[in-house]
Structure 1
Amino acid sequence: MSLQSITERLHAAEARAGRAPGSVTLIAVSKVQPPERVEAVLAAGQRIFGENRVQEAQGRWPDFQARYEGISLHLIGPLQSNKARAAMGMVDAIHSVDRVKLAETLARLADEIGRCPELFLQVNTGEEPQKAGVLPGEADALVARCRALSLPVAGLMCIPPADEDPAPHFRLLGEIAARNGLSGLSMGMSEDFETAVALGATHVRVGSAIFGTRVAPV
């Protein structure tokens, strides 16, 4: 696969769903990818990237940002409270807010720093014990708490169980978002982003289909 082929598939999925061209944001997930692959995708014109770990992003992106204009970074992996300050200073969106403690930390830092990235609340739609995310039944309360803290909640995010049809999970996320008046839906990855677009995704997170198989860290 390549950036061009994924972009073409994304545009075709938008058209099939009756959605406007460019209405879905493509996040190129660059986690654990060699710098040369990331630079190739940058050179091809992509400017929105997703990283899982704050430390990896800190080591990778300052150099690229010095050489390429318009880069937007999205943190899509779990965020520890002790990494929140660093994340707030370098990313434009955080897709993994999943607990009140983290929300309160972000609100405090936003007051100190004077800015806050766009936030998506991660919902564990499959209720998998090993996976991050607020449980579906507790999502409304987390949305309410974030709003009480004046945090900029743009929407919700989910990662469906790997061995299940993703469509019911995408529908569930959409239902939770709708009843909370949220328009942002960060859902869909390399294997299922077209299904996600059909079910209302506003952001899709595509890694290996753009960059190739991830290179395991040494």
Structure 2
Amino acid sequence: MTTIADRISIAQSRITQAAQNCSRDKQEIDLLAVSKTKPIQDIIAAYQAGLRKFGENYVQEGEQKIIELKPQYPDIEWHFIGPLQSNKSKVVAEHFDWMHTVSREKIASRLNIQRPENLPPLNVCIQVNISEEESKSGICVGQIQPLAAAIATMDNLQLRGLMAIPTATQSAELQQQEFSQLQTAFEQLKQQYPQVDTLSMGMSNDLDVAIANGSTMVRIGSAIFGKRS
């Protein structure tokens, strides 16, 4: 039976291979372990296998895990990667290190106000709905600049980049088109904001094309922790 450590090793090998295929340094690409719905012991197993970055989709679940694990594992970096209702923003502002799904100035403003002064600025990514599907959160490419400009004025937030969930498709052409469009938007953002360094895109089924198009962080869940119950 494969262990969590085995599956992490396989995922890291895939990242290394994908990076080699497009002449990139694998050190430029972070593995974010998506631990939503998974028990604490699975996170500890992944930690013991060397992972330090974990992504949670649900506010209360993430908060409970952080409170439980922080005393013993203070070097875990917690990323919030799910949709956020404004009435739950305080929990993310107080407990997480990263927020990947900012798509409204109102949410950014709340996070900025609610971020405790004793913590470093909350790292944020703007979520882009690159496929412009109605069922998905995020803004269209044309709205990135105004939102980035607003975030840049907020002292308790640090704009780090863009995040997207492209179309779930078997079409390599469509995948390539969407990832390439996002990479272009990312490069433009980097030119304006030197601290921008994160392009959070790519999951188990499309990490090769994501890495070929400049992804710096791939989000992998079930390929590490097994199928969700």
TM normalised by structure 2 equals 0.86
1:156 pairs with 2:162:
yes
- Give per-residue Cα distances to partners, 1:5-28, cap 9 Å, x unaligned: 101111222222222232111100
Matched position secondary structure for 2:125: strand
1:118 pairs with 2:123:
yes
Give the whole-Å Cα distance in 1 for the aligned partners of 2:142 and 2:26.
34
1:177 pairs with 2:186:
yes
Give the whole-Å Cα distance in 1 for the aligned partners of 2:152 and 2:182.
18
Which residue matches 2:228?
214
Which residue matches 2:203?
189
Matched position secondary structure for 2:208: helix
Which residue matches 1:65?
70
- Give per-residue Cα distances to partners, 1:16-54, cap 9 Å, x unaligned: 222223211110000112333333222222111000011
Residue pair 2:99, 2:123 contacting (<8 A) in 1 also: yes
Give the whole-Å Cα distance in 1 for the aligned partners of 2:163 and 2:184.
12
Residue pair 1:97, 1:121 contacting (<8 A) in 2 also: yes
Percentage of matched positions with identical amino acids: 36
Residue pair 1:88, 1:116 contacting (<8 A) in 2 also: no
Q: CA deviation at 1:122?
A: 0.1
Which residue matches 1:21?
26
Give the whole-Å Cα distance in 2 for the aligned partners of 1:55 and 1:198.
35
Give the whole-Å Cα distance in 2 for the aligned partners of 1:45 and 1:115.
24
Q: CA deviation at 1:69?
A: 4.5
Give the whole-Å Cα distance in 1 for the aligned partners of 2:148 and 2:91.
23
1:199 pairs with 2:213:
yes
Amino acid at match of 1:68: Y
The CA RMSD measured in Å over matched residues stands at 1.9
Matched position secondary structure for 2:71: helix
Among 140, 151, 157, the alignment partner of 1:135 is 140
Note the residue ranges of structure 2 that are not aligned, 5 or more in a row: 1-5, 191-195
Q: CA deviation at 1:142?
A: 1.2
1:8 pairs with 2:22:
no
Q: CA deviation at 1:86?
A: 1.2
Aligned residues: 215
Give the whole-Å Cα distance in 2 for the aligned partners of 1:211 and 1:54.
20
Q: CA deviation at 1:177?
A: 1.6
Q: CA deviation at 1:168?
A: 1.7
Note the residue ranges of structure 1 that are not aligned, 5 or more in a row: none
